[in-house]
Structure 1
Amino acid sequence: MQVSPNSPIRLALVAYPGVQRSALEGMADMFALLPRLTGAGAAGAAVDLIRVDAGNRPEAAVDAFVFPPSLEATQAAPDHPLVHWARDRHAEGALACSVCAGAFWLGQAGLLDGRPATTHWALEAGFRASFPGVKLQPEHILIDDIDVVTAGGLMAWLDMGLHLVGLWFGADLATRLARHLLVDPAGREQRHYAGFRPPRSHGDVAILGVQRRMDTDFADPLPVAMLAAGAGMSERSFLRRFLRATGMSPAAYLQRLRVEKARGALERGGESTAGIAWAVGYRDVSAFSRAFKAVTGLSPGAYRDRFRIAAGRRG
C-alpha cells in the first residue's frame, strides 16, 4: 500500500479495557515523530491518529486500526462494542492489526479464522482454546497476512509500528525511525515491504465484497462467472468495475493474492514448497513455481533461502 503525498493515513489506536497504556502512547509517539524525520511539511508521511474506546467509536472509515497489548487478564467478549466496530471497519477495507493480547479482539471479531496469526507465547493455550480455527504461530514476532497483521510479545508494538511505517512510507523511513528510537531493526521480524497491497479504498462496495471473498477463498477455483454472480452483476459489468477498482483483472488479482500468501508461508518456513503450492490453490507445483517467479523474480526455493524468518524470540 503506497500512500500519495496528499493522502494522510487514518490510523485508529484502540484503547480497550486493560490495554497497556505505555504501548498505546508509545505507538502514538512513533507516528508523531515522522514529521521530524521527513522534514518541513512532512506531506509524504502524514498520519492522522484517532483514539477509539468503548464510548468513542467513530464510524468514519479508517485505513488501519491497532489493538495494542495488555498487562491484564481482560479478555474480549464477542458482543463487545469494540468487537463489532473492528469487524465493521475491516469489512470497509481497513487493515486490522493486533499486538500480543490484542489478537483476542481480532479473534472475537472473526478476522483471524483460517489465517496464520501470532500472539504472546504465554497466551498460546488460552488462544488455541478460544479460537481453534486460527493457524496460531506464536514462535513468530510478526505475521503479515495482507489485510490482517498480528504481532506477539508485550514490546512487539515497536515491531508493529516500524512495520506499518515501512508498508506506508517505505523501508528507508522505517530504518530512520528505528535509528532515531535506538531500536535495532536487524533481526526484528519485518516483511519485505514490496508485497501485494490491493487497493480497498476505491469505494465500490460490491467489488470490496468480492475482494473479501477472494481473501478467504483464494485456494478455490474462482471463475469470473461465479464472482460476477455473487456480486449481482453481468460478467461484462463485473470485469469493467473490478478493473476500475483494483487496476487489474480478477485472474491477475487472484494470482498476485496467491503468490503473496505463498510468500508469507515461505518466509515463515516449515512447510514444503509442494504443500504451500497446494494450500494457495495450485495443484501443479511447476505452474506454481512459474507464477511465483513471474511475480517475485525468484523461485520459491530461492525466495525461502533469502527471506526466511528465524523463529521469533520468546517473551
Structure 2
Amino acid sequence: MPRVALLVGMALLVAMVTAALREWTSRVRDRMNVLRRSSALRTLDERERAALATLRVLTGCLHDDQVRMLTGAFTAGARSANYPVCDGQLAGIPVLMPRQAWPHLADRNDAEVVMGRHWAVVVRLNGFEVATLRRPAAAHVLGERLETPAEVAMRRGPGMRPAALPITTLALWAAVDLSGVPALLMLVIAGGAAWLAWPRRRGPATAQRVLQLQGQLQAYRKHSDGGPVWLLGADRRVQLPWEWADARAFSQRRSMRLEVRADDGAVLGAGPGWCLARDRQRFPPSGGSWQLAWLGLLLLLLLAGWLGDLRWLPVAGVLAAWHALRCILAIRQSLRRNAARTADIAQRANPGH
C-alpha cells in the first residue's frame, strides 16, 4: 500500500509540474503575440542589421525588421564573459541582446526590439544602441571548389561493418534455443548489432561545394564546460575538426583563410600542411570504440548462455576473447597515433593568410 501511495503521489507531482509549465508557456506566447500585433515604431536600418549578424549566427534566431517598443523589468538573466549574447526576460518576454547591453539594464527598462519566432531581439536599451558596436568584418568568399574523392569518402563514412555478422548470427541462434524473456533479449542483441553495423551515410555521394573564405577566426564558449563555437568573421559559423580544435595555431584571434564545406560549415583545410583528409589518412582511427561495443554485446550473449547452458558458448567465448585482444591493441594504437598527430601539428606553420 505505501508503494502504491508513493506512485500516485509521484504521478500527481509530475502532472502538476507539467500543468505549470504549460501555463507558463501559454502566458509567454500570449505576451509575444500581443507585442507582435503592436504598432511598429520604424524599420530596422542596415547598420543595426549588420550589428546583429553575430547574434543571428550564434543563436539561429531569425528576426523581422519591424522595430517595436518594449518596457518593463528585466528578470531571469544570464550572461557569460566569453559569449557575446545574453538572454533573459523583459516584461515577461524572452529576449536576446548583445553582451555590451547588459550594463545598461535598470529597474525599469525602455527597449526597442525586433521579433523572432521564440525571442525578441534588443536593438536599443536605455540609451544603448547596437549600431554603435564595434564588430569584425564579414568573412570574404575568395573562391570555391568541389570536394575531393577522399573528402567525399570521409564525409559519408564507412560501409557495412562485417564484425557484427557473427554476433547477429549467434544471437538469432540463441533466440531459437531460448524462450520467454531470454529469447527476447537475444533478439534485442541481434537487432542492436545489426543497427550498429548498418552504414550511416551522411549526405549525397556527389561532391559538395567547398568555399574558400577569409576572415578573423574567433572561438566563443557559452559555458565553461562546453565546447567552443567558432565564427569566421562576423557572420559565418564554422566547425573545426576535433583534431585541430586545441591547436595553438587556431587559438589566436587573427585573420586566416579556411576551406569550408558550404552545407555544414565543416573546415576541410587551412592552407599548406592543414588538410583534414590527409590527416585522417595518416592518422586513421583505431576502432577501439567499435571493438568495445562488439565485446559488450558478446558478454551479454555469454551471460545468457551461462544461465541457459547453451551449446554455442565456446563460439561466443572465442569471439569475445578475440575482440578483447583487438580492443587492447586498438587502445595502444590510439595512444601512439594521438602522440604522433600532436607532435606533427605542433610543427606545422600557422594556418594560411
TM-score normalised per structure 2: 0.24
TM-score normalised per structure 1: 0.26
Find the structure with the greater CA-based Rg: 2
Give 1 or 2: higher strand fraction. 2
Q: Which protein, 1 or 2, shows the higher relative CO under an 8 Å CA cutoff with sep ≥ 6? A: 1
